[in-house]
Chains A and B, each alone.
Chain A
Amino acid sequence: MVALSERMSLSTMQTIRRAPKTTFDPLFRWASVASALLVLLVLAGILGSMVYGGWPAFREFGFGFITSSVWSVGKGEFGAWVAIAGTLTSALIALVIGVPISIGIAIFLTQLCPPWLKRPVSTTVELLAAVPSIIYGMWGLFVFAPLFARYVQVPVSSLVEGMPILGTILYARVPSGVGLLTAGIILAIMIIPFIASITRDILDQIPTILRESAYGIGCTTWEVVRHVLLPQAGVSIIGAVMLGLGRALGETMAVTFVIGNANRLSLSLFDPSSTIASRIANEFNEASDLHFNALLALGCILFLVTFAVLVLARLLIARVRNR
């Protein structure tokens, strides 16, 4: 502190003596404004390149690009429905599994955890978020999928075979372990750290006095969580969930490993499918002409969907922060 102020006064004294005409000051200002604008430009550039590159495909197939489930490179016909359905379904599965677990972890961290355990648990959650997605993919394909095929797909398939609705949704024609449900489970594990840490921050921001007064009138922990904390956090937890949804929709590598990359529409959660991101990852380097444009058009759809989800997420989280 002393050294700092000494150096400060020295440098400013020099500035004063030399008359404070400096070119660095405006330069620095403009550099920082330009850098900030660059952030805007990148987002605009991403949208622009998707729309520009995907335009031929949208023009060729019109609205049918979204509704058609034919994706044939040989015939030159491209429809996005299988990939869109796969993206939405796998993300939805991830939310159904991941959200309760994330909120449970956040509640444990903020309400139940003994102080000495807080640091290790937080670190664990942070490290789960830091593991690269390709590692989740390898774990999913080589470790989780075989176990899942053996202990879940095979028994469940034989159990539900012939049943009216369950027999379709939960029947595996080839119990290989990969498929929509596996992708959804891996995605759930990947979004848990994000939702959990944001929810923890939200719960931490709720005034302690609310919690203490609830305990004071004799509420149990469950009642405090259910009737005080969750209603207080309410909308911003939905925001955190949307943020997780945004991640799940765009996740590429882990999904590419475990979803099976099939091209046909199937009603079973055990069957292989594909998502927008996994299809782009698989086919982009070999694509040319209309195939190339169709993949960029897929990217455009993914961009618009995740953009909408993320904007909504930010608005919901911000609403509570500002209150």
Chain B
Amino acid sequence: MNDISRNALPTQPLTWARVRPGRRIADRTLKVVCALFTALGAFVLGWILLMLLYEGGSALSLDVFTHVTPGPGTEGGGIANAIVGSFILTLLGIVVATPVGVLAGTYLAEYGKGSKLAEVIRFVNDILLAAPSILIGLFVYTLMVPPLGGYSGWAGGVALAIIAVPVIVRTTEDMLRLVPGSLREAGAALGAPMSTVIVHISWRAARAGMVTGILLATARIAGETAPLLFTALNNNFWFRPDLMGGVSNLPVMIYQFALAPYENWRSLAWAGALVITLSILALSVVARLLLKKDHAR
């Protein structure tokens, strides 16, 4: 398009000279404002990352990764229990969410395609995708905390799973829909039952996209705080092997320590914030690279 306009009209200034000043100014304003807004977004991201690197970086030390969180007024300490706790809760959440999410997404894309029920479920799933996470915390509290006799890692894992499921359902369905129908027909023509076609053809063809969805869901729940406040809680010890009585985790630890009056708690909160943000950003970058590589192939 550029070539054509350049051939037709000799120079750029001449093109502009034909445009009324009012229109020219409106156009310039739009371009400058849009570019500024975009720069603002990049600036805020850069600012937040720099803040984390500065505050969190100066708080990092070997102790941070090897000691448990200190009690009120205790010197030193680390966040080892919170890191491991967060890892376990996230793993628990994703292990629960993956089968449910993948199967539900499979229903939407394969079995229920075009049915009324699938439409309703797709709609509800989209609502759940954006539902306030604190309400999910409240729901899991009433569902699991009093019945199990107290706060537990299990409740935290289920709360995170409920947040992860809609993400996985959505990406699984989207990715399965990209699989051409002729592949399925080829499988069916060989006499394979529907489940075999889905597992060995559809899933295999959509594998990279589905894994990306699961990784993105992991990134999403790893930093969730609100649903853990009333389910997994947080404490200053290693969790019990049965995960009852609360499991320390990074997000809630950061929330409590950042607002605390102790200097060492504050710096541990910054260290935790750096660790969790970098892990999440790395995870989401890897997830997207995976998808891009697969598409390029």
Chain A interfacial positions (CB closer than 8 Å to B)? 4, 7-9, 11-12, 15-16, 20, 22, 24-25, 27-29, 31-40, 42-43, 45-46, 49-50, 52-53, 100-101, 104-105, 107-109, 111-113, 121, 123-128, 130-139, 141-143, 189, 192-193, 196, 212, 215, 220-223, 225, 243, 246-247, 249-253, 256-257, 277, 280-281, 284-285, 296, 299, 302-303, 306-307, 310-311, 314
Q: Is the interface of B mostly helix, strand, loop or mixed?
A: helix
The answer to whether the Cβ of B251 comes within 8 Å of any Cβ in the partner chain is yes
**In whole angstroms, what is the CA distance A314 to B187 when docked?**
35
Known contacts A46-B139, A253-B226; 17 further A-B pairs (Cβ under 8 A): A11-B196, A12-B191, A49-B142, A101-B41, A112-B34, A124-B42, A130-B219, A132-B224, A135-B52, A135-B223, A139-B47, A220-B19, A220-B26, A250-B134, A250-B135, A277-B226, A306-B132
Contact with A along B262-297 (1 / 0, CB 8 A): 000000011001001100110011001000000000
Asked if A28 and B195 make an inter-chain contact with CB atoms under 8 angstroms apart, the answer reads yes
Separation in Å of the A311 CB from the closest CB of chain B? Answer: 7
* B side interface size, CB within 8 A: 100
Asked if B138 and A296 make an inter-chain contact with CB atoms under 8 angstroms apart, the answer reads yes
Asked if A20 and B193 make an inter-chain contact with CB atoms under 8 angstroms apart, the answer reads yes
Asked if B192 and A134 make an inter-chain contact with CB atoms under 8 angstroms apart, the answer reads no
Q: Kindly specify which of B59-67, B70-78, B87-95, B162-170 makes contact with the partner chain.
A: B162-170
Q: A104-B37, A127-B45 are in contact. Are A15 and B196 (CB under 8 A)?
A: yes
Near A by CB (< 8 A), chain B positions 96-136 give: 99-101, 103-104, 106-108, 110-112, 117-118, 120-121, 123-128, 130-136
The answer to whether the Cβ of B225 comes within 8 Å of any Cβ in the partner chain is yes
| Chain A residues whose C-beta falls within 8 Å of the C-beta of B193 in the assembled complex | 15, 20, 22, 24-25
Q: A189-B44, A280-B138 are in contact. Are A133 and B223 (CB under 8 A)?
A: yes
Separation in Å of the B39 CB from the closest CB of chain A? Answer: 9
**In whole angstroms, what is the CA distance A130 to B220 when docked?**
7
Separation in Å of the B15 CB from the closest CB of chain A? Answer: 10
Asked if B198 and A303 make an inter-chain contact with CB atoms under 8 angstroms apart, the answer reads no
Asked if B123 and A299 make an inter-chain contact with CB atoms under 8 angstroms apart, the answer reads no
**In whole angstroms, what is the CA distance A141 to B257 when docked?**
13
Separation in Å of the A46 CB from the closest CB of chain B? Answer: 4
Chain B interfacial positions (CB closer than 8 Å to A)? 1, 19, 23-24, 26-27, 29-31, 33-38, 40-42, 44-45, 47-48, 51-52, 55, 99-101, 103-104, 106-108, 110-112, 117-118, 120-121, 123-128, 130-136, 138-139, 141-143, 162, 165-166, 169, 187, 190-196, 198-201, 204, 219-220, 222-226, 229-230, 233, 251, 254-255, 258-259, 269-270, 273, 276-277, 280-281, 284-285, 288
**In whole angstroms, what is the CA distance A12 to B229 when docked?**
50
Separation in Å of the A136 CB from the closest CB of chain B? Answer: 8
| Chain B residues whose C-beta falls within 8 Å of the C-beta of A124 in the assembled complex | 41-42, 45
Asked if B284 and A42 make an inter-chain contact with CB atoms under 8 angstroms apart, the answer reads no
Asked if A253 and B255 make an inter-chain contact with CB atoms under 8 angstroms apart, the answer reads yes
| Chain A residues whose C-beta falls within 8 Å of the C-beta of B288 in the assembled complex | 123, 126
**In whole angstroms, what is the CA distance A211 to B37 when docked?**
23
Asked if B254 and A16 make an inter-chain contact with CB atoms under 8 angstroms apart, the answer reads no
Separation in Å of the B24 CB from the closest CB of chain A? Answer: 7
**In whole angstroms, what is the CA distance A139 to B55 when docked?**
11
